[in-house]
Every structure is written in structure tokens, then in C-alpha cells.
Amino acid sequence: MLSKSRKGIKRRNFIKKSSVGLLGAGMLNSKKALSNEKETSKNKTPKIKEYRTLGRTGFKVSDIGFGGTKINDEEVLKALIREGLNYIDTSESYRNGNGEVLIGNAIKEFDRKSLFITTKMRDVLNPFDSKEQVLKLARGSLERLNTEYIDCYMIHAAQNTEIVKDKYFHEAMNQLKSEGRVRFCGVSCHGNSPTYVPSENETLKKMDEILLSAVEDGRFDVLLMAYNYQMQDMGNRVMKACKENNIGMTIMKTAIYNNYVRIKEQIEKDIKEGIEVTDFRKQVMQLWGQDVEQAEIFNKKYNLTGEDEIKSATIRFALDNPNTDSVLVSFGSFEDIDKYLALSGKPLSSSEHKMLKDYEEAFGCFYCRHACGECEKYCPHHVPVNTIMRYNQYFHAQDRREYATEQYASLPGHNAEMCEKCKGYCEKACPHNVAIQSMLNFAHKDLTTLA
């Protein structure tokens, strides 16, 4: 059953802020609204307009950076570099190493010293076996990137505070730095993984605890974390510490994917095709159907035509933070270049800040906060809620469908198949009143479509 208490709170908040939206109707209905990023002429490619110093590295990086999760055309990256983008982030896990190969091919015609390239090892769940293990991983990335050196080599998706102190990692970094093969080191984090098994006396750490331990360690030069306008508390603490210690700060997962419209359409499609619709889904249909109608009114009043406008605003929200050095965007096409490079150097207006705040209160119940996981300890089936919703974002927002379904299929223990007949313990425990039970139910449907 859906949580009645959460349903009531969500409905009250939504109606309240929808009313605010009506009062503010038209305030974004101008050339200075969310469509600011479209002001550039069709005949003029937008260029990077702002560079920021990446902490103690001293390197001036483009405020819009390249997040290499889904690109499969090196010409797109070349075009980005020609327009001034110089911060490139990748990982050996992206496209099974082929992401690094693509980047290596793309950068051949450019001055290597004008670029700052960060790559990450595969997700680290356990301590390293030896210094040689780390050296082998780093040298594999160097070979695939076809470069003499890596500007920043990162521990990927750190799961605990111990990994950031790992002696073998730091011994390997010292050697690679002395050889001129790595210039700086860093760590990324966006919450815990369900495949990580803590030791007997260990308690799971949150994203900010892990990254703050890296700051305290003193040997890391750049951090990468999830941060957006609906998830600020943890990030602001880390950013403040980084600024005080002159550590570079890069941001991922600024965009928020809300799939309430797709879910309503899927239920309607199932009903039309005669597919059995459970009582649970009928409740979702009744509850979310009203929200979708309100959403249509909200979008019309704020002159919004799609998710791209919200995504652009959320990127600029992260850029507005003075402690942000570069926001990573997943560029997959030439159209993305036109849309997102135009955000460089353009702050949000006060009316846009207000719009995002209203949007959060109206639709925040459809966003499972990255790196949160507060509800998971209340799940009797130990379903990794936060991880599943992150995979669902990969599936929809980043169009990494094969990767997302593979990761979902490899989850140990129970997945979201358990959620439809559950009593909704996660929803009752969620501090953000997220409609998480129904979202998990549909995430399972999406993440098994390619199986």
C-alpha cells in the first residue's frame, strides 16, 4: 500500500506550491527566462566563456567540463575542445575502457598541455592487494588514453574512509608522480554500493563523510561528487572544506530525472492493451495522474517545454556556487554542444532561482536523492534503494541502457521485484517524502526490459 502520510504531505506541498506557481505566472515568459541558453545565433557555435582555477593544481579549467559516460563519437569531443572546453573526465569503466580509447584518439591533434584529463579506476570496493595492482590499473589507462601522463588519477566511487588512506594507492601515486606519469590524484564518490560488504566493526559512511576524510588526509588534489539544487547539504559541507584546503572541486549528477509522466503513460498503455494492472498500480495511477495534470499546468505557467530546460537550469545552479570549479556534462551529440556550452559563464537570474525552488517543492517527491540511502535501513528485504534509482537515472537521463540493465542484473541479494507487494517501509521512512515504492516498482520494469 502507498503510505497515506506521505501521500497527504506530498499532495499538500504540491498544491501549495502550484498556487505559488500560478501567482508567479509569466515571470519567466520572456527572452530572459530558462531559454537564455538559446539566445545564441544558429550560425554561431557557443564557446566557453569562463575558466576557474582547479584548486592547488593551478590549472584554469573550463566551467563546463566533459563527462565521458555516453559519448561514442570522437568528433563531438574534438568540437568541444575547439570551442574552449579543456576539462575531460573519464574512467576505465566507461564503455569497458573504450571511453578512454576514444578520448586518446580525439586529443591527438591538440596541444596536450592545454587539456586537463582526469581518469578513474574501476569501482573500488576493497583494499588494494599491492602497489603493483594500482600501477597496473593506472598504466592501463595511460595506454588506452595514448598519453604520456594523466593530469589527475582518481579512486572511483570510494565506499569508505579507509580506501582513501590505502597505503598501496598512495605508494603507487608517489611512484607515478616521480616518473612524470601522473600529476595529481583525486577521489570520487556518490554513495555506497550494495556490493560493498563492511567489516565487522565498520559502519557505512555517507558521501560527505568519505570525501571529508579525503580532505583531512591531505594527499588529494581534486574531488568529484554528486551535487544539485535538491541535494545540497552534504555537498556544501564538502565544498567548504575543499575551498579552505585549496582542493579542486568538480561536480556530477546536477540533472534530475523525473519519470512521473512516463509511469502514468505506461499504466494507461497496460490498461489499453489488456495487461493485468495490480491494485498497487491502480493506486499509483490515481495518485500520480493528478500530479501529471498539475505538472502540465506548472510547465505551461513557467514557459517550460521539456526536461532540457530544467537540466540547463540545474547545471547553472551548480555553476553559481563559488566553490564549484567545473560541472561535468555528458555530451553525446553535436546538439548537446549547442545546448550546454551556451551555459558557460551565465548565472541564474533571481526568478530562475525561485522557479527551481518551486519546482523542488512541487516535484521533489519524484527524486530519490543521490547518496542519501536514509530509507534503506528500514527495508526488511535489504533492497539497495539508492543504487537502483541511480541505475534508473543512467537508463533514462544518460541513455546508458545496456550498462544500467547489466548493473541491475548483477546486484546481490534482493532487487526491486520485492517492492510491489511490500508495505512501503521505505516511503514511510523517507525524509524527503519521495514516492519511492512506486518508483522502485517501475524502475524494476525498466531495468529488466533488455534482459
> DSSP characters for 167-220?
HHHHHHHHHHHHTTSEEEEEEEE-S--TT----TT--PPPHHHHHHHHHHH---
* 137: enclosing H helix or E strand: helix 131-145
Whole-number CA gyration radius for the chain: 22
Q: Which three cell numbers mark 79? A: 568540437
Domains and CATH numbers, the chain: 4-25+259-304+372-447 (no CATH), 38-253+310-343 (3.20.20.100)
> DSSP characters for 257-272?
---HHHHHHHHHHHHH
Spatial CB neighbours of 255, under 8 Å, sequence gap ≥ 6: 228, 310, 311, 314, 315, 397
Residue tagged 554542444 (cell numbers): 337
Q: Give the pLDDT of residue 172.
A: 97
Task: Put residue 222 in one of left, alpha, beta given phi > 0 → left and psi -120 to 50 → alpha.
Answer: beta
C-alpha distances in angstroms, 309 versus 68, 104, 304, 448?
22, 32, 7, 29
Q: Give the pLDDT of residue 14.
A: 33
Q: Which three cell numbers mark 395? A: 537508463
Dist. CA 219–CA 171, nearest whole Å: 11
The 3-state DSSP class for residue 53 equals strand
C-alpha distances in angstroms, 181 versus 172, 218, 273, 312?
11, 21, 59, 36
Dist. CA 149–CA 430, nearest whole Å: 45
* 377: enclosing H helix or E strand: none
Written as tens digits, the pLDDT of the chain (451 aa) is 444 444 444 433 433 333 333 223 333 333 333 333 334 334 456 699 999 999 999 999 999 999 977 778 999 999 999 999 999 999 998 888 899 999 999 999 999 999 999 999 976 667 899 999 999 999 999 999 999 999 999 999 998 888 999 999 999 999 999 999 999 999 999 876 655 555 555 567 889 999 999 999 999 999 999 999 999 999 999 999 999 999 999 999 997 766 665 666 666 777 787 776 666 666 666 666 666 666 677 777 777 776 778 888 999 999 999 999 999 999 988 999 989 999 999 999 888 888 888 888 777 878 889 888 889 889 999 898 988 998 888 887 777 888 889 989 988 888 999 888 888 899 899 998 888 888 898 889 889 987 5
Query: Phi and psi (nearest 5°) for 427?
Result: -65, -40
Are the beta carbons of 328 and 66 closer than 8 angstroms?
yes
Are the beta carbons of 159 and 124 closer than 8 angstroms?
yes
Residue tagged 518508483 (cell numbers): 439
